[in-house]
């Protein structure tokens, strides 16, 4: 992707109209790379409003790709000044100034702040604004759209707690893109430059997309927490539990990555070992609380994985199902 610094506008992006070939939930890296090459020269000035964990990460990473980050803005001046000093030709500005100086504005502020912030600023046509929230609908950018700006979403599917380390995480992660053309192609080209895998979100699907992703992120922490709680209830100290459980969790994720979910399945359900599952249930029910029911629900989900793996015969599957439904005890 050839980049030209200067004063161009988003409308100066060149490329065939047929670039909308990236329809569908997932666009492969190869396809995205081709799109970016086809787009050719991008001339645009980018600003970030909101420079917390994600804003800092994205602004730095895009600047390293040679993108023209002209302004960064936050509520406080000092963090913006510190960030601007790390980015060539970038200035710390007030939000409205930053917006005025840019063709493409990233609103990387907390989700609940996006709508009020958008309404408080003066937008113009021939400008684009994207938010970085996973669950929030593009409707929150309506006041910018009403002023003629293009609107979109650019949600990196990764967690960024430490901006210093986060740039490494961008590469190879996915990014959900939700925008009409020509902004969509601009965002695809940016994703390509960052070596991220774009996911094109169907319109109106953001909340379900983000809720689904939560199972692979923060809700995975809830699963680990359940493991720690059960061990803690039998007297295994909490500070020893996580170091013992992490290699197991990592091994499971690595198996899923290389063999797929059903291919990675191991443990008593995958073997049709009804006796072990019955012992688990007795032990967890004896602990009280919701431990047993939580296990039952997750194990029901595992039955369908085991079925898909083709390794479990129908009789074993039916016995496990009856055990989970409380129709047999072993
Ligand atoms: N962090 C992640 O892992 C991650 C991943 C994917 C997507 N995202 C999305 O990225 C967006 C930002 O999240 P984050 O984690 O980077 O949040 P964050 O670390 O809390 O940073 C938010 C930044 O926005 C600033 N801010 C708040 N209200 C503002 C306003 N009205 N005007 C200007 N700046 C304002 C905050 O400044 P103050 O310091 O003054 O409060 C702070 O610097 C969210 O939409 C989030 O869903 C985050």
> Pocket of ligand 1, candidates 93, 94, 108: which has the most ligand atoms within 8 Å of its Cβ, to mutate?
108
Sign (positive or negative) of CA dihedral 193, 197, 202, 205: negative
Number of structural domains found in the chain? 2
On whether the CB atoms of residues 67 and 187 are closer than 8 A, the answer is: no
- Output phi, psi for 127, to 5 deg: -145, 155
Are both 45 and 171 inside the same structural domain?
yes
In which order are the strands placed within the sheet that holds 197-200?
A: 91-92, 69-73, 46-49, 104-107, 128-131, 150-157, 174-179, 197-200
How far from 253 is each of 28, 167, 237, 249, 265, CA to CA, in Å? 22, 22, 25, 6, 11
CA 125 to ligand 1 center in whole angstroms? 25
CA 107 to ligand 1 center in whole angstroms? 8
What is the SS3 assignment for 315?
helix
Q: Report if residue 2 sits inside a domain.
A: no
Are both 233 and 179 inside the same structural domain?
no
Q: Report if residue 65 sits inside a domain.
A: yes
Neighbours of 229 (CB within 10 A): 15
CATH no. for residue 39?
3.40.50.720
If 0-12 CB within 10 Å is exposed, 13-18 middle and 19+ buried, where does residue 242 land? middle
pLDDT tens figures, 114-150: 999 999 999 999 999 999 999 999 999 999 999 999 9
Say whether pLDDT at 230 is over 90.
yes
Closest-lying ligand 1 atom to the alpha carbon of residue 135: 47
CA 266 to ligand 1 center in whole angstroms? 40
| Closest residue CA from atom 6 of ligand 1 | 156
How high does pLDDT run on average in the chain? 87
Q: Which of 168, 203, 238 is the last residue of a domain?
A: 203
CA 133 to ligand 1 center in whole angstroms? 9
Say whether pLDDT at 164 is over 80.
no
> What HEC string does 50-105 produce?
CCCHHHHHHHHHHHHCCCCEEEEECCCHHHHHHHHCCCCCCEECCHHHHHHCCCEE
Q: Which of 203, 232, 255 is the last residue of a domain?
A: 203
Q: Which of 203, 228, 254 is the last residue of a domain?
A: 203
pLDDT tens figures, 267-298: 999 999 999 999 999 999 999 999 999 999 99
CA 200 to ligand 1 center in whole angstroms? 23
Q: Report if residue 211 sits inside a domain.
A: no
pTM of the model: 0.84
Band (pLDDT 50/70/90 cuts) for residue 43 is low
The average pLDDT across 244-257 equals 97
Q: Report if residue 235 sits inside a domain.
A: yes
Neighbours of 204 (CB within 10 A): 11
| Closest residue CA from atom 11 of ligand 1 | 108
Are both 182 and 222 inside the same structural domain?
no
Q: What angle do CA 154, 158, 261 make, to 5 degrees?
A: 115
pLDDT tens figures, 167-178: 788 999 999 999
CA 106 to ligand 1 center in whole angstroms? 11
Q: Residues lining ligand 1, judged by CB closer than 6 Å?
A: 49-55, 74-76, 95, 108-111, 113, 117, 132-134, 155-156, 159-160
Strands 150-157 and 128-131: parallel
Are both 192 and 291 inside the same structural domain?
no
Closest-lying ligand 1 atom to the alpha carbon of residue 158: 5
Enclosing domain of residue 139: 10-203
């Amino acid at each position: 992707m050839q980049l030209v610094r200067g004063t161009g506008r988003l409308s100066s992006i060149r490329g065939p109209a047929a670039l909308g070939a990236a329809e569908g939930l997932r666009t492969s890296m190869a396809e995205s790379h081709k799109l970016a090459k086809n787009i050719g020269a991008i001339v645009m000035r980018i600003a970030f409003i909101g420079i917390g964990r994600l804003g800092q990460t994205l602004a730095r990473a895009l600047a390293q790709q040679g993108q023209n980050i002209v302004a960064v803005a936050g509520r406080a001046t000092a963090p913006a000044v510190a960030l601007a000093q790390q980015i060539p030709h970038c200035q710390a500005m007030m939000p409205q100034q930053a917006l005025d100086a840019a063709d493409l504005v990233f609103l990387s502020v907390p989700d609940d702040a996006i709508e009020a912030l958008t309404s408080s600023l003066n937008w113009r046509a021939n400008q684009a604004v994207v938010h970085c929230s996973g669950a929030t609908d593009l409707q929150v950018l309506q006041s910018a759209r009403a002023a003629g700006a293009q609107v979109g979403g650019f949600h990196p599917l990764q967690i960024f707690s430490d901006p210093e380390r986060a740039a490494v995480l961008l590469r190879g992660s996915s990014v959900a893109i939700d925008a009409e053309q020509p902004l969509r192609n601009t965002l695809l080209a940016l994703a390509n430059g960052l070596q991220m895998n774009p996911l094109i979100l169907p319109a109106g699907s953001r909340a379900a997309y983000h809720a689904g992703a939560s199972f692979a992120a923060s809700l995975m922490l809830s699963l680990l927490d359940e493991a720690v709680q059960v061990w803690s209830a039998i007297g295994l100290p909490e500070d020893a539990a996580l170091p013992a459980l992490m290699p197991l969790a990592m091994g499971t994720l690595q198996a899923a990555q290389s063999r797929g979910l059903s291919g990675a399945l191991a443990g008593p359900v995958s073997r049709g070992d009804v006796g072990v599952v019955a012992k688990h249930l007795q032990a967890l029910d004896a602990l009280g609380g919701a431990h047993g029911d939580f296990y039952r629900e997750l194990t029901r989900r595992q039955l369908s994985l085991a079925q898909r793996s083709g390794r479990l015969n129908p009789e074993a599957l039916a016995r496990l199902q009856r055990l989970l439904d409380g129709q047999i005890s072993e």
